[in-house]
Amino acid sequence: MKRNYIGLACTGHDNALSIVNSAGEVTFAESTERYIQTKRALSTPADDLLRVESLINDYCEPDADIVLAKTWSSKTSAIFEREEQLAVDRLNSSEYEQSQGFIAQNLQVSRYIHSLVTNNIRNSGDHLDFQCQAKFGKKAINKAYNHHYTHAAAACYTSPYDEAACAVIDGFGEGVSISFYAYANGAVKHVASSPLDGDISRSLGVFYGGVLCGLCGFDAWRGEEWKVMGLAPYGKYDARIHELMRQYIRVKGFGLECPSEGGVALAELAAYARKPGSCAETVADLAYTGQLVFSELVTELLNNLYDLDISENLVLGGGCALNSAYNGKILDQTKFKHLHVYSAPGDDGNAVGAALLAFYEDNPAAGSRSRFQSPYLGSKMSVETLGNLKRFGKMPGVTELSGNAPQKAAELLAEGKIIGWVQGRAEYGPRALGNRSILADPRPADMKDRINALVKFREEFRPFAPSILHQFGDEYFINYQESPYMERTLLFKEEVRHKVPAVVHVDGTGRLQTVKREWNERYHDLIQAFHAITDVPIVLNTSFNIMGKPIIHSVEDAIAMFYTTGLDALIIDDYLIEKQ
C-alpha cells in the first residue's frame, strides 16, 4: 500500500509541518509561523484544520495512506516527570546548598517548558486525523520519535554524504541536551548522549539562550540569540567574564557539567548584565566573550566526537547549529574535514526528520540520497491574488515583466534601489535564500544603515548577508566553503572588503549564501546580471520581514510591508510594483 508521510514538529515553539511522498521525496515543508504570521507560533499546532486539508490536497498522492510522525516520543512525559524529580532532589541536597536559588529558578523554567512541550504533543495531530478520516475514510497511522533522533535524521538525510558523524546540540531533548550519532548506509544510529539528570543548566542551548542572551538584555523566547551573534564582534575579550563562564559550565566527555559552585559564578556574572535603558553596545564585551566560550565548548565536544573515528564528515543538528558565527570556524578548529548544516537545523526542521524516519522505517531498502536538498519547499504566491492585484488594485507603477524579472531587478539594484524579491516557493528554515528576500546593492557604505533604519526597523549593529555566485567564492573569502543555506560565517579577504562594505561585518566577516544556477535559477540569473552591470558578483540579502515578524507568507503580506517601509520596488514572480 502506498504511503505518504506527514511530519509534525510539535515542541510548542517553531512548530512546522512537512510532507514526504511514497518515493521518499520532501514535497512540502513550512514553519507554522509563516502561515499565521506570528513569530515562533508559540503553542500553535502545525496541523491547522483548514490549512492541513489544502496541504493534503496539494502535496499528498491521492491514493496514499497517511502516516503522521511526531517529533517527540511517547516516553516524553515520563522523562520530564523524572527530570523534575531529580531537580527537586538536587534542590534538597546539601551538596548544592550555595546555589539552591539558581537550581530553584531552573526548576521553575524547566517545569514550564516541560508543560509547554507536553501540551503541544498532546494537541498536535487531531486536525490531521480528522481530515484524513474525512478525505480517505480512515485515520492517519501514528508514529512518534525521540526528539534528538529527529534532529539527527533531518541533518543526516539532507546531507550530501553517504556517511557522517552527527552532533545534535540544543536546549534539551528527552532528558538530554547533546547526542551523537553515526550515519552510514542510510541508517542513523545513536552513539552517545549527555543526560541532564535534572540539571537543565547542563545545556549549551540554555547557556546561550537563557544565560548569555538574557544577560545581554535580549529575549530567547523571541528568538533573539541572533542579536548576540551580531553584537559580539563589536566587543572584546574580558578575562574575568571568561573565567566565570568556564566555572559555570564545562565539557565532560560527550556532555557538559555544571559544578556546584556554578550558581555562585552566575551570580557574579549578573553584575555584568545590561542595565535597563542602556544600549546594547554596553554589553558587547559580554557578548563577545560568551560567544567565545560557546565556541570553545562546542569545539571540545566535536573533537571528542571525531576521536570516535566515525567519519571525516560532520553534520550538525539542533538549535545550536544555527550559530553561524561558530559554524564558519568548525573546519579550522576541529579535526573534521567537511561540514553540513541543513537550512532548518532547529525544531522546525524536525518535521522533515520525523517524516523521513517514518519513510525509511517502512522502506529500509530505499537507500539514502546523497544529493543537494532544496530548501525551497514552502508555499507559493497565490496566482489568483496576483490576478486580483492587477484587476482591482488600481495602483500606479505596476508592470508585468514577461520573464525578465532577474534582469530588471539587477538594474534596479545597480541604481541603488532596495527591493522586495518574491519568487517561487518559500524557503524552509529561518533564513531567506533568495525567494523571500529584501535585496540591495552591497557597494554603498551606508546601505546597511539605510535598510536597518528604513526597512527592517532594527538595531544598527545587525549585519546583512552576502549572496555570492559560487565561482567567485575563492576570490572574496579566505578558505572559502560552500554555504548553500547561509549557515556559516567566513572571513572576507582584506583586498575586496572595500568593494562590498554593506555586507562586511565589523570583524571582516560575512554570513554568506552560495548561489548556483542548479539550486535557484532566477536568483542566480539576477546576481549574474548584477555582476555584468557592476563587476560585483554579490548582492545584499536579508529576509523579507521587519523585526519581530516572520518572513512574509502571502501577496497581501508583501504589499503591506512594501507600502509601510522604505522599500523602493517589489517584484512578485513577474509583477513589478514601484513607488511613484
- Taking CA atoms, 343 is separated from 44, 155, 206, in Å, by 22, 9, 22
Over residues 234-260, the mean pLDDT reads 95
What does the alpha-carbon distance between residue 426 and residue 34 come to, in Å, rounded to a whole number?
Answer: 9
pLDDT band at 95 (very low <50, low <70, confident <90, very high): low
pLDDT confidence of residue 109: 85
Residue pair 340/316 in contact by the 8 Å Cβ criterion = yes
Q: Looking at residue 98, what is its pLDDT?
A: 66
Average pLDDT, the chain: 95
Parallel/antiparallel/unpaired status of strands 163-169 and 313-317: parallel
Give the model confidence (pLDDT) of 275-324 as tens digits: 999 999 999 999 999 999 999 999 999 999 999 999 999 999 999 999 99
Over range 238-262, report the average pLDDT. 94
How many CB atoms within 10 Å of residue 219?
12
Distance, CA of 398 to CA of 413 (rounded, Å): 18
Distance, in Å, from the CA atom of 291 to the CA atom of 317, rounded to the nearest integer, reads 18
Residues in the chain: 580
C-alpha–C-alpha distance, residues 578 and 567, integer Å: 9
Decide if pLDDT at 554 tops 80.
Answer: yes
E-only strand ranges, 244-390: 250-252, 255-257, 313-317, 338-341
pLDDT digits (tens, 9 = 90+) for 335-381: 999 999 999 999 999 999 999 999 999 999 887 776 899 999 999 99
Residue with cell 568548525: 330
Please tell me the distance from the alpha carbon of residue 112 to that of residue 290, in angstroms, as a whole number.
26
Which range (59-63, 284-288, 394-398, 478-482) has the least confidence?
394-398
Where b means 16+ CB within 10 Å and e means fewer, 79-94 reads bbeebeebbeebbeee
Which three-class secondary structure state does DSSP give residue 281?
A: helix
Q: How confident is the model at residue 403 (pLDDT cuts 50, 70, 90)?
A: confident
Q: Residue 373's pLDDT is what?
A: 95
Contacts of 115 (CB under 8 A, 6+ apart): none
> Tens digit of pLDDT for each residue in 60-86?
998 899 999 999 999 999 999 999 999
**Which own/partner contact pairs does 490-493 have at CB distance under 8 Å and 24+ positions apart?**
490/328, 491/328
Helical spans, DSSP H, in 124-198: 126-136, 147-157
Strand order in the sheet with 338-341: 187-195, 176-184, 163-169, 313-317, 338-341
Query: Mind listing the domains of the chain with CATH numbers?
Result: 1-75+120-158+344-373 (3.30.420.140), 204-341 (3.30.420.40), 383-578 (3.90.870.20)
Closest to 114 in 3D by CA, of 139, 82, 66, 153: 82
Contact indicator for 254, 233 with CB cutoff of 8 Å: no
Over residues 199-204, the mean pLDDT reads: 93
Residue 445: C-alpha distances to residues 201, 417, 504 (Å):
42, 14, 10
273 DSSP 8-state letter: S
CA dist., res. 129 & res. 137, Å (int): 10
Residue 37 has pLDDT above 80, yes or no: yes
Closest C-alpha to 464, from 541, 547, 358, 371: 541
Query: Per DSSP, what are the bridge partners of residue 261?
Result: none
Q: In this model, does residue 94 exceed pLDDT 80?
A: no
The answer to whether 162 and 380 are in contact (CB under 8 A) is no
DSSP lists the bridge partners of residue 465 as 541
